[in-house]
Amino acid sequence: MKFAVIVFPGSNCDKDLYFAIKDGVKAEVELVDFRQTSLAGFDAVLIPGGFSYGDYLRSGAIAAHAPIIPEIKRLANEGKPVLGICNGFQILTEIGLLPGALIRNEHNRFICETAQLQVVNNDTLFTSEYQADEVIDIPVAHGEGNYYCDDATLAELKKNNQIAFSYVEDINGSVDKIAGITNKQRNVLGMMPHPERALEKLVGSDDGLKMFQSMVKNQMDRVNQ
């Protein structure tokens, strides 16, 4: 399985994701510049956290027009896994692969701490190695992580089991304490917490490792079918 980690100007978690794949699950991975126009040969796409283009307009809004975006959409439409973390989640909403938007945290302050998440749906390409309703410890670091959607969208998310993770405690004002959602096909996941920062107990938690293991296992099962 070959992963692409997309690097935008201002990305700062790209190397974290790179080593999460290279050393965490021992899979093939490459850093891919945002100016590239092809993702041929890749089986999964990872969009890292950071501050793409400095967040000078709106988080993820400028990145949404980068040359690599059509290829990310193509892989998503082909059913391949696309994971956006933090700024990556913001980008996924800006390009229309996920509904809703990420706005300023409720108390208008940057949050940097370890949060407890509940695994709401473990029937996705990203969560199958978790137990249903499992509570995991994953770091957060964001100023615009307050997930917003209207009532109709929230109802759809619940109806289609698209809510993958929720915060155990409300940390940023997100609707229904949402921490991560998928598309209806469940091959695109956006989440504000950083699983790539939770790969070893030495750094506080290894609860993020199962996410990347889920991606690899599901891809291998798909190939062997």
Burial of 214 from C-beta contacts in 10 A (0-12 / 13-18 / 19+) = buried
Catalytic residue flag (residue 194)? yes
Q: Which of 71, 94, 129, 196 is catalytic?
A: 196
Identify the active-site residue in 71, 129, 142, 194: 194
DSSP result, 6-57: EE-TTB-SHHHHHHIIIIIS--EEEEEETT----TT-SEEEE--B-GGGGSS
Residue 43 CA, chain-centre distance (Å), reads 16
Give the β-pairing of 111-119 and 135-142.
antiparallel
CA distances from 106 to 74, 92, 171 (A): 34, 21, 8
**142 is an active site residue:** no
Torsion sign, CA atoms 67, 46, 11, 165: positive
b (16+ CB within 10 A) / e for 49-63 = bbbbbebeeebbbbb
Q: Show Cβ contacts of residue 221 under 8 Å, excluding neighbours closer than 6 positions.
A: none
Catalytic residue among 13, 86, 129, 142: 86
145/102 Cα distance (integer angstroms):
5
User: Helix, strand or coil for residue 93?
Assistant: helix
Active site residues: 86, 194, 196
